[in-house]
Amino acid sequence: MKPYEIFRRLSSSEIDALVLAACEDDEIPDKIAGGVLSLQRVPLTRFERFTEDVRKGYVRKTLRDKRAEDLSLFVISTGLVGAKAEMIEAFLAALDLPHEGPSLTADGPVAEPPETLLKKTVADLASAHGARDVAIFLNAFVEQPDVSWPALVSLLATDQSLALEDLSA
């Protein structure tokens, strides 16, 4: 599932929380603002006059836009690392992947772990952290450029407990 598709299934409050966590990284606010201004074609002077709720609405709309795929991946990845570091670190450690805290440190493609270990790790993670958070993380993880894990893609497509329910309404 592409990052903008993940954002399309998240509630407004889930998106706001991810964006807030992502904005702990000093680069993110400017990237988001630039994406909103260019993709929504809103002049900066007009955007500055919007209320906070209207600005949040524009941010949500932008992150759900197919044209913002790279921005969406960057924001969701940064937001998850900020908000769900413990869960991500547990995942990386259980699979014995090179990492520093919640950040993968591998250079180049990340080898897929054995399917049985992957399934056990995902099940353990879902029971410890909740299936929805795990589903959001794993759907974003498989979209990372250096991750090509067919077994994880298949697991996400077939395991109903990892189905990412649409809460956007």
Q: How far is the C-alpha of 48 from the C-alpha of 45, rounded, in Å?
A: 5
Calculate the CA 87 to chain-centre distance: 13
Predicted local confidence at residue 107, as pLDDT: 85
Residue 103, token pair as written in the block: 């950040």
Predicted local confidence at residue 28, as pLDDT: 92
- Which regions in the chain score pLDDT beneath 50? none
Taking the complete model, does pTM exceed 0.85, yes or no? yes
Q: Are 102 and 24 in contact (CB under 8 A)?
A: no
How does pLDDT run across 49-93, given as a tens digit for each residue?
999 999 999 999 999 999 999 999 999 999 999 999 999 999 999
Q: Which phi and psi angles does 100 have, rounded to 5°?
A: -125, 105
Q: Which phi and psi angles does 144 have, rounded to 5°?
A: -65, 145
Predicted local confidence at residue 155, as pLDDT: 95
Predicted local confidence at residue 122, as pLDDT: 97
Q: Are 32 and 62 in contact (CB under 8 A)?
A: yes
Predicted local confidence at residue 169, as pLDDT: 78
Domain boundaries along the sequence of the chain:
3-72, 84-162
